[in-house]
Amino acid sequence: MSEQTIQLGHGGGGLMSRDLIQSEIVTRFGGGMLKGLPDGATLPMPAGRELVFTTDSFVVQPLEFPGGTIGDLAVHGTVNDLAVCGAVPRWLSLSLILEEGLPLSTLRRVLDSVKRTADDCGVSVVTGDTKVVARGQCDGVYINTSGIGEKMDEFDLSAGRVSPGDHILVSGSVGDHGMAVLAAREGIRITHGVVSDTGPVHRLVQASRPFARDVKFMRDPTRGGLASVLNEVVEDQAAGILLNEAAIPFSSGAKGVAEMLGVDLLQVASEGRMIMIVAASASEAVLSAWRSLPEGRDAARIGVVTDKKGRVILETLTGGHRLVDVPRGELLPRIC
Amino acid sequence: MSEQTIQLGHGGGGLMSRDLIQSEIVTRFGGGMLKGLPDGATLPMPAGRELVFTTDSFVVQPLEFPGGTIGDLAVHGTVNDLAVCGAVPRWLSLSLILEEGLPLSTLRRVLDSVKRTADDCGVSVVTGDTKVVARGQCDGVYINTSGIGEKMDEFDLSAGRVSPGDHILVSGSVGDHGMAVLAAREGIRITHGVVSDTGPVHRLVQASRPFARDVKFMRDPTRGGLASVLNEVVEDQAAGILLNEAAIPFSSGAKGVAEMLGVDLLQVASEGRMIMIVAASASEAVLSAWRSLPEGRDAARIGVVTDKKGRVILETLTGGHRLVDVPRGELLPRIC
């Protein structure tokens, strides 16, 4: 293509659209089902297997931040949603909303990161869509990825199975993604070196598979952070949660930015972490399996399930206790 | 909710997000799998059936236009993509990007139309996502719907099967959607009364099922219109197409607006029409089956497949012949 930025005509369904799709999408994703560009992808189904279906739109700003781009964030986000539902991620759709004037070089870097991340996660982009809106009607690129995975039979996941004595595990430091994006936006990244944790959790799920019957709940703590996920678990349940602040892994970079801005890291999004609630008897085995993976190297047991109905309590470093609240509104807009 | 417009906090993953999802999404779509708001929906799969997976983002402006809204456009668009791939539409995801300041009343009307249209098409919204961006970072509402359908075994669809002598059928007038949106945008709707054709085509596919082995190709002519779809069919094929202008159904409203603006209706989007290429022997049977449905009442045979390799020719009302071109860029931005 001769144009070096996205034009409205790239979204019109005519020759310019076809050129864009051929040169940027088919070259990257057209090896398989996407080749003939049908309106939909036909997927072979293994007999009698349940599927998991999920969707996420991504509007993160900036499009590129320390540790990742909107492209790998989208793939990880959808892969992770499938994984925490107990599914093996298989197929993704990729739908782009592009702003007129977007540099093609930016689009290419984003698509490269989608491709690289999908390959790393073992998922295929099989169908897609591209729209273009005029300048000022979106902010560079918005991406929707929907995903389909094959449910693993072993897992029986539900907040209702969580009971006092169960252990709360986390696969690594929390809040890095939110702090990295915020720092990039505020121009403070150089001082503190905080890097997004954007990454996949499906290998952590695979590693837990031998202990599946002792796994009661899993979730990746995105918007609203650890605080939102744990409060959601115990909402309307007979159980509560006691967290041990000393045991929660935080990176020094995220801590630095959070302190500077007065933000509670428990309420900040991660994009490549797993929270799992397991029977106490399986806790060490799961942690040890996780720690054998790079993405689980800093895994830790951070708390226990209690009988304090519906309450999430933090035992602080100084031995005090405080309630862990769900944030009300928006701490950090456009974090994912 | 007390707020009467969308706030950034509605997208933050905290209490405001939960309130919005509970009051606007769960009340409409929470009867089934969406009830517990898991990260993904678990779908029961009939053994050995292939699936079709598709995605579309919708950025139409205005959000409400004569004949429809962005909500029913999204459902119809995804249902139709599944249908023309030879699948029975089953499940949809619904992902919203909302602009800060959007009136809640507008959101409610859009969601009502999603719900009503999904019910009419026999599909369930089973998973979703909601993001909020600041004022000026989108234009009211953008919607992504991805869909899963169950493939029907009977159809064997491919442009390669199209051969000279086959008939080209269309299920109704073409170009109404594009002209209705444009007219609404330009404020000329009252004079000409053009109404969008937004609607489902899956019942037309069902009606053709008894003749499936004679159906070679089907597609709904959206962006780029009839011209784009038919050129795509014969691209790189040994066949060509001869259209008969006198036989192509146009509504008087769409014709009026197109003439006023100097637009070629063959290049204008429909959002509820079907183009089908069938063996000549099955053509009357399919037309008659279509005409028994409200959405197929104006169905017509509009042309034949020729041996003029790769060329789409129109025989005009005056008996002349002209080439039907694919539009190059963007005639009508944000039509869907």
Mean pLDDT of residues grouped by 10 in chain A (336 residues)?
79 88 92 70 80 96 96 98 96 97 97 98 95 95 97 93 97 96 78 87 98 97 94 92 98 92 93 98 98 98 96 97 87 83
Which residues, other chains included, contact B298 with Cβ-Cβ below 8 Å and sequence gap of 6+? B171, B172, B173, B249
From A100, A121, A151, the end of a domain falls on A151
What type of residue sits at position B165?
G
The stretches in chain B having pLDDT less than 50 are 1-2
Q: How many residues would you count in chain B?
A: 336
Question: Does residue B207 belong to any structural domain of this protein?
Answer: yes
Which chain A residues touch B45 with a CB distance below 8 Å?
Answer: 45, 48-51
Chain position carrying tokens 């940027």: A24
Which pLDDT does position B85 carry in this prediction? 94
What CATH number is given to the structural domain containing A244?
3.90.650.10
Chain position carrying tokens 């933050």: B12
What type of residue sits at position B246?
A
Can you tell me the distance from the alpha carbon of B29 to that of B115, in angstroms, rounded to the nearest whole number? Answer: 7
Question: Does residue B40 belong to any structural domain of this protein?
Answer: no
Which residues, other chains included, contact B41 with Cβ-Cβ below 8 Å and sequence gap of 6+? A52, A53, A54, B33, B34, B91, B93, B126, B127
Cα angle A316-A318-A323, degrees, rounded to a multiple of 5: 30
Q: From residue B59, how far is each of A20, A112, A137 by CA, in Å?
A: 19, 25, 10
My answer on whether B228 and B296 are in the same domain is: yes
Listed residue (A320, A168, A323) closest to A233, CA to CA: A168
A59–B91: do the CB atoms touch at under 8 Å?
Answer: no
DSSP A196-263: ------HHHHHHHGGGGGGEEEEE---TTHHHHHHHHHHTTSS-EEEEEGGGS---HHHHHHHHHHT-
Cα angle B57-B58-B59, degrees, rounded to a multiple of 5: 125
A91–B223: do the CB atoms touch at under 8 Å?
Answer: no
Instruction: Please name the residue ranges forming H helices in B97-224.
Output: 104-121, 176-186, 189-192, 202-208
The kind and range of the H/E element at B6 are none
A48 touches chain B (CB under 8 A): yes
What CATH number is given to the structural domain containing B111?
3.30.1330.10
- By Cβ distance, the residue of A8, A148, A228 closest to B53 is A148
Can you tell me the distance from the alpha carbon of A208 to that of A293, in angstroms, rounded to the nearest whole number? Answer: 12
My answer on whether B245 and B282 are in the same domain is: yes
> Could you tell me the pTM of the whole model?
0.95
My answer on whether A139 and A182 are in the same domain is: no
Instruction: Check whether the bond before A62 is cis (ω within 30° of 0).
Output: yes
Can you tell me the distance from the alpha carbon of A51 to that of A41, in angstroms, rounded to the nearest whole number? Answer: 16
A82 touches chain B (CB under 8 A): yes
B34 touches chain A (CB under 8 A): no
From A151, A182, A199, the end of a domain falls on A151
My answer on whether B139 and B202 are in the same domain is: no
How many independent structural domains does chain B possess? 2
Taking the CA atoms of residue A103, residue A105, residue A111 and residue A117 in that order, the dihedral angle to the nearest 10 degrees is: -130
B136–A134: do the CB atoms touch at under 8 Å?
Answer: no
Can you tell me the distance from the alpha carbon of B163 to that of B159, in angstroms, rounded to the nearest whole number? Answer: 9
Mutate to test the interface with A, among B100, B130, B330, B331 (most CBs of A within 10 A): B330
Phi/psi for A3 (5° steps) reads -65, 135
Give pLDDT tens digits for B199-239.
Answer: 999 999 999 999 999 999 999 999 999 999 999 999 988 99
Which pLDDT does position B191 carry in this prediction? 57
- Sequence-ordered strand ranges (E) for B83-196: 87-99, 124-133, 141-151, 167-170
My answer on whether B88 and B201 are in the same domain is: no
Which chain A residues touch B94 with a CB distance below 8 Å?
Answer: 55
Which residues numbered 275-314 in A keep a CB inside 8 Å of some CB on B?
Answer: none
Question: Does residue A42 belong to any structural domain of this protein?
Answer: no
Question: Does residue A285 belong to any structural domain of this protein?
Answer: yes
Which pLDDT does position B314 carry in this prediction? 98
Which pLDDT does position A319 carry in this prediction? 95
Can you tell me the distance from the alpha carbon of A229 to that of A242, in angstroms, rounded to the nearest whole number? Answer: 14
My answer on whether A311 and A170 are in the same domain is: yes
Question: Does residue A97 belong to any structural domain of this protein?
Answer: yes
> Strand pairing partners for B314?
B243, B322
Which pLDDT does position B78 carry in this prediction? 98
My answer on whether B63 and B183 are in the same domain is: no
Which residues, other chains included, contact A118 with Cβ-Cβ below 8 Å and sequence gap of 6+? A75, A92, A124, A125
Can you tell me the distance from the alpha carbon of B256 to that of B268, in angstroms, rounded to the nearest whole number? Answer: 14
Question: A255-260 — which CB contacts under 8 Å span 24+ positions?
Answer: A256/A191, A256/A192, A256/A194, A257/A179, A257/A182, A257/A183, A257/A188, A257/A192, A257/A194, A258/A175, A258/A179, A260/A188, A260/A192
Which pLDDT does position A1 carry in this prediction? 45
Listed residue (B103, B35, B109, B41) closest to B72, CA to CA: B109
My answer on whether B177 and B296 are in the same domain is: yes
Can you tell me the distance from the alpha carbon of A167 to that of A302, in angstroms, rounded to the nearest whole number? Answer: 8
A146–B93: do the CB atoms touch at under 8 Å?
Answer: yes
Question: Does residue A44 belong to any structural domain of this protein?
Answer: no
Can you tell me the distance from the alpha carbon of B141 to that of B132, in angstroms, rounded to the nearest whole number? Answer: 9
Q: Please tell me which residue of chain A has the smallest CA distance to B77.
A: A39
Token code pair at residue B316: 């005009």
My answer on whether B115 and B186 are in the same domain is: no
Q: Give B93 to chain A, closest Cα distance, Å.
A: 6
My answer on whether A202 and A240 are in the same domain is: yes
Q: Give B307 to chain A, closest Cα distance, Å.
A: 22
My answer on whether B170 and B310 are in the same domain is: yes
Which residues numbered 144-163 in A keep a CB inside 8 Å of some CB on B?
Answer: 144, 146-149, 151
Mutate to test the interface with B, among A6, A131, A161, A228 (most CBs of B within 10 A): A131
B57–A96: do the CB atoms touch at under 8 Å?
Answer: yes
Question: Does residue A35 belong to any structural domain of this protein?
Answer: no
Which pLDDT does position B148 carry in this prediction? 96
Q: Do residues B244 and B319 make contact, with C-beta atoms less than 8 angstroms apart?
A: no
B146–A95: do the CB atoms touch at under 8 Å?
Answer: yes
My answer on whether A190 and A288 are in the same domain is: yes
Domain that residue B144 falls in: 8-30+49-151
- Sequence-ordered strand ranges (E) for A100-220: 124-133, 141-151, 167-170, 215-219
Question: Does residue B171 belong to any structural domain of this protein?
Answer: yes
Q: What is the DSSP letter of B152?
A: P
From A104, A125, A151, the end of a domain falls on A151
Q: Do residues B90 and B79 make contact, with C-beta atoms less than 8 angstroms apart?
A: no
Helix-, strand-, coil-residue percentages of chain B, each rounded to 5: 40, 25, 35
Which chain B residues touch A56 with a CB distance below 8 Å?
Answer: 95, 129
Listed residue (B8, B24, B17) closest to B111, CA to CA: B24
Can you tell me the distance from the alpha carbon of A291 to that of A13, in angstroms, rounded to the nearest whole number? Answer: 49
Q: Give A200 to chain B, closest Cα distance, Å.
A: 15
For helices A70-84 and A104-121, give the axis angle rounded to 10 degrees.
Answer: 30
Helix-, strand-, coil-residue percentages of chain A, each rounded to 5: 40, 25, 35
Starting at the edge strand that comes first in sequence, how are the strands of the sheet with A321-323 ordered? A215-219, A275-278, A167-170, A300-306, A240-244, A312-315, A321-323
Can you tell me the distance from the alpha carbon of A278 to that of A273, in angstroms, rounded to the nearest whole number? Answer: 16
- Determine how many CB atoms are found less than 10 A away from the CB of residue B62: 14
A50–B42: do the CB atoms touch at under 8 Å?
Answer: yes
